[in-house]
Amino acid sequence: MTQYVIRRVLLIFPTLLIVTLAVFSVVRLIPGDVATLMVSEQGYGADVEAVKHMLGLDKPWHEQYIKYMSNVLRGDLGTSLWSKRAVTEELSLRVPVSVELGILAIGVSLCIAIPIGVASAIRQDTWPDYLGRSLAIGGLSIPGFWIATIILVLPAAYFNWSPPMKYQPFLKDPLANLQLFILPAVIMGIAMSASVMRMTRAMMLEVLRQDYIRTAWAKGMRERAVIVRHALKNAMIPVVTILGMQLSLLLGGTVIMESIFNLPGMGRLLIDAINWRDYPVVQGVNLVIATAIVCMNLLVDVTYTYLDPRIRYR
Amino acid sequence: MAEQVATLAAAEKVSLGRQLPWYVDVWVRLWKEKPLGTFGGILILLVMLAALLAPVVTQYDPIVNDIPQKLKPPDAHHWLGTDNFGRDMFSRIVWGARISLYIGFGAVALGTTCAVIIGIVTGYYGGLLDSIVQRFVDAIMAFPWLIIMLTIMAVLGPGMNNVIIALSVGMLAGNSRIIRGATMSVKANLYVEAARCIGAGDLRILLHYMLPNVMAPIIIVATLGLGGAIMAEASLSFLGYGVPPPAPSWGGMLSGSGRRYMLVAPWMAVFPGIALSMAIFGFNMLGDALRDLLDPRLRSNG
């Protein structure tokens, strides 16, 4: 097993290298020169070339890349071209917001998905099953931004109520913070619950056909004991992998919710940075997100191996 | 002799009829066994009919402004009301089906073809090629799909074909993994080795042995991908990076003016959203049912 873990860890380095190259080059491909934008929009000086030189953008790509990587490995992700603050500083303000939204969304999705998945599996092919599956797929199909827009506007029109819009950090004022986050978290959670629900249902169906479950029924155990103590624990293992895969969707999904609900998270930062051609910020955010996902996938793989001994000795 | 066979068959209740080819049989089974999938299929047929019959069914032009008629609620002339430029919402939604389906099918065709090529080739050849390509696939999968698509749209600029390219890059990585897995399990079969023994070249094996046997996951991935592509296009248009106005894209109708005029004219945002949900729901339902029918083993991949 340690061999597997070591091999798996070593494999992430080439992946991360490709990630950094991709992030670096794609950002430079975006049309619209930041130096021209700065000169025309903010009057940074008359000369585009001088601005380019100041930002270090006139050197050849490979020199820029080497300089960038050596900085990254020292923990310096660069400075924002517009706000002049360090990218790490901007991120440290934004990451907790996105992470909190993500954790709440996963919590909501688990609370919805697992009970519905288990109930669907127990009563397979009856109307509760169909209802549960339709609800899950409905949650997946209905665009989150549409629901969010309707939820934001209609109560304001008819009940004169609108959700709070000002961000308060969790430690300062937990209640206001949760009030702000609960709506986007629920909307995202509903969308994410579909795959977890399908997975739970499929795994429960498989587990319920096993011999040890039949033994439990034969012993006369109550339904709840059989389902929870024996079936559910074994069915949950692949759900862990699904959760790992959800993280990728999560980080992408926060972009839309943050735009609508005005949350100062990483997604908003990224969109603004793309609009303003703020290369260091775009690179920094992409790098952080991609590295986080690669490490999460690694963690999920290792956890899966740990939880399911059948895989360990492959 | 014939009577003996007939009585034997009758005794065992075995049907002597011809068996349908699998691609017809799937639809028959869908109709008989999967009511939810059939419902999804009907929704999709409705959307396709709307797209095909758009010029016939609508009387107003979806793009031309008609300011005197602006912001009218649904009535006998404008079944779903008008938007802030006076354009008939019903016409815009029906013509929008064309855009959604064009982008959806285009993205899935391009993305699935690339995913199939990558998946089958790396799954079949394995070895160093596989390891290297998988590192690239890992790298693409390390980015959330929306961010990949946003960045590609920022690089390429607005336009329908650029949206198709962006969407297919987003789908190609994960789908190539699934197809690679299926290819590797097909490759383990004895008939592949037998084919090599009788002198079949690699290309022939890939085309005649691998591809047909991997069709089931390809179909499932394509159908679910259609739902995902339509949703992704809507999200991109919502964020402002998708199909540019005045094209009647459903996602575009939900952002911008849809949001701004929500209090005054809620029909501007509600109806495109319903259309969008219907289409995506239909594809997801159908894809789910097809997955259950075609390859039960894939069910556990969620």
Instruction: Quick: pLDDT tens for B17-51.
Output: 567 777 777 778 877 777 888 888 999 999 998 88
Strand locations in chain B (E):
none
Q: Which residues pair with B88 in a beta bridge?
A: B82
Q: How much is the pLDDT for B16?
A: 53
Contacts of B135 in chain A (CB under 8 A): 11, 14-15, 18
Q: Contact B144/A249, CB-based, under 8 Å? A: yes
Contacts of B263 in chain A (CB under 8 A): 153, 156-157
Q: How much is the pLDDT for A273?
A: 84
Closest CA to A258 of A87, A108, A27, A100: A100
The answer for B 82-141 residues in CB contact with A (under 8 A) is 135-136, 138-141
Task: Please name the residue that has the structure tokens 């691998």.
Answer: B210
| pLDDT score of B112 more than 90 | yes
Q: What's the first-to-final CA gap in chain B, in angstroms?
A: 51
B71: left (phi over 0), alpha (psi -120 to 50) or beta: left
Q: How far apart are CA B167 and CA B234, in angstroms?
A: 11
Q: How far apart are CA A76 and CA B95, in angstroms?
A: 50
Angle, helices B267-294/A144-158, rounded to nearest 10 degrees: 150
- The answer to whether residue A61 neighbours chain B at the CB level (below 8 Å) is no
Distance (Å) of CA B124 to CA A109, B177, B202: 38, 13, 9
Averaged pLDDT in 10-residue chunks for chain A of 314 residues: 79 85 79 67 65 68 79 78 80 84 88 85 80 82 84 74 69 76 87 82 80 83 78 72 73 81 84 80 85 83 70 50
What's the mean pLDDT when you consider all of chain B? 82
- The answer to whether residue A46 neighbours chain B at the CB level (below 8 Å) is no
Q: Contact A19/B139, CB-based, under 8 Å? A: yes
Closest CA to B241 of A270, A230, A188, A12: A270
Of the ranges A264-278, B1-15, B159-173, which one carries the lowest mean pLDDT score? B1-15
- The answer to whether residue B270 neighbours chain A at the CB level (below 8 Å) is yes
| pLDDT score of B10 more than 60 | no
CB nearest to B146's CB, from A141, A206, A255: A255
Residues of chain B with pLDDT > 70, as a percent, come to 90
Which one-letter amino acid corresponds to residue A298? Answer: L
Instruction: Quick: pLDDT tens for B170-196.
Output: 888 888 888 888 888 888 888 888 888
Measured between CA atoms, the residue of chain A closest to residue B258 is A149
How many residues are given for chain A? 314
CA A245 to chain centre: 9
Instruction: Quick: pLDDT tens for B246-298.
Output: 888 888 888 767 777 777 777 788 888 899 999 999 998 888 888 777 765 54
3-state secondary structure at position A67:
helix
| pLDDT score of B107 more than 90 | yes
Q: What is the largest CA-CA distance in chain A?
A: 86
Contacts of A256 in chain B (CB under 8 A): 146, 235, 238-239
- The answer to whether residue A66 neighbours chain B at the CB level (below 8 Å) is no
Burial readout B18-53 (b: 16 or more C-beta within 10 A, e: otherwise): eeeeeeeebeebbeeebebbbbbbebbeebbebbee
Q: Contact A274/B154, CB-based, under 8 Å? A: yes
Q: How much is the pLDDT for A314?
A: 42
Closest CA to A145 of B112, B110, B115, B272: B272
CB nearest to A274's CB, from B150, B259, B273: B150
Q: How much is the pLDDT for B110?
A: 94
Residue A226 is classified by DSSP as I
Distance from CA of A172 to the nearest CA of B (A): 31
- The answer to whether residue A10 neighbours chain B at the CB level (below 8 Å) is no
- The answer to whether residue A140 neighbours chain B at the CB level (below 8 Å) is yes
Q: Contact A18/B277, CB-based, under 8 Å? A: no
Asked whether the beta carbons of B233 and B253 are under 8 A apart, the reply is no
Instruction: Quick: pLDDT tens for B56-78.
Output: 877 777 777 777 777 777 777 77
The answer for B 249-268 residues in CB contact with A (under 8 A) is 251, 254-255, 258-259, 262-263, 266
Q: How much is the pLDDT for B105?
A: 93
- The answer to whether residue A251 neighbours chain B at the CB level (below 8 Å) is yes
CB nearest to B284's CB, from A137, A249, A251: A137
| C-alpha torsion sign, points A287, A289, A292, A298 | negative
- The answer to whether residue A129 neighbours chain B at the CB level (below 8 Å) is no
Measured between CA atoms, the residue of chain A closest to residue B302 is A199
Measured between CA atoms, the residue of chain B closest to residue A160 is B263
Measured between CA atoms, the residue of chain B closest to residue A205 is B300
Q: How much is the pLDDT for B164?
A: 93
Task: Please name the residue that has the structure tokens 């498989």.
Answer: A206
Strand locations in B100-226 (E):
none
Q: How much is the pLDDT for A35?
A: 67
pLDDT tier at B111, thresholds 50, 70, 90: very high
Q: Contact A26/B238, CB-based, under 8 Å? A: no
Distance from CA of A49 to the nearest CA of B (A): 22
3-state secondary structure at position A172:
coil
Structure tokens at A28: 């430079």
- The answer to whether residue A300 neighbours chain B at the CB level (below 8 Å) is no
Structure tokens at A314: 């492959």
CB nearest to A141's CB, from B254, B281, B299: B281
Q: Contact B273/A19, CB-based, under 8 Å? A: no
Structure tokens at B262: 């929500």
Q: Contact B239/A146, CB-based, under 8 Å? A: no
Q: How far apart are CA A34 and CA A280, in angstroms?
A: 11
Structure tokens at B32: 């008989």
The answer for B 51-70 residues in CB contact with A (under 8 A) is none
CB nearest to B281's CB, from A22, A138, A145: A138
Measured between CA atoms, the residue of chain A closest to residue B34 is A125
Q: Contact A143/B259, CB-based, under 8 Å? A: no
Structure tokens at A12: 């992430």
More confident of the two residues A155 and B137: B137
Q: How much is the pLDDT for B12?
A: 52
- How many Cα atoms are found within 13 Å in the side-chain-facing hemisphere of B215? 8
| pLDDT score of B300 more than 50 | no
Q: Which residues pair with B82 in a beta bridge?
A: B88
Distance (Å) of CA A118 to CA A128, A239, A307, B17, B158: 11, 12, 20, 40, 44
Q: How much is the pLDDT for A244?
A: 73
CB nearest to A271's CB, from B227, B234, B239: B239
The model's pTM: 0.81
Distance from CA of A261 to the nearest CA of B (A): 13
The alpha-carbon radius of gyration of chain A (Å, integer) is 24
Q: How much is the pLDDT for A51?
A: 66
ipTM confidence: 0.78
- Contact partners, residue B78, CB within 8 Å, separation at least 6: B60, B69, B72, B88, B89, B90
Q: Contact B151/A293, CB-based, under 8 Å? A: no
Residue B301 is classified by DSSP as G
CB nearest to A203's CB, from B154, B277, B300: B300
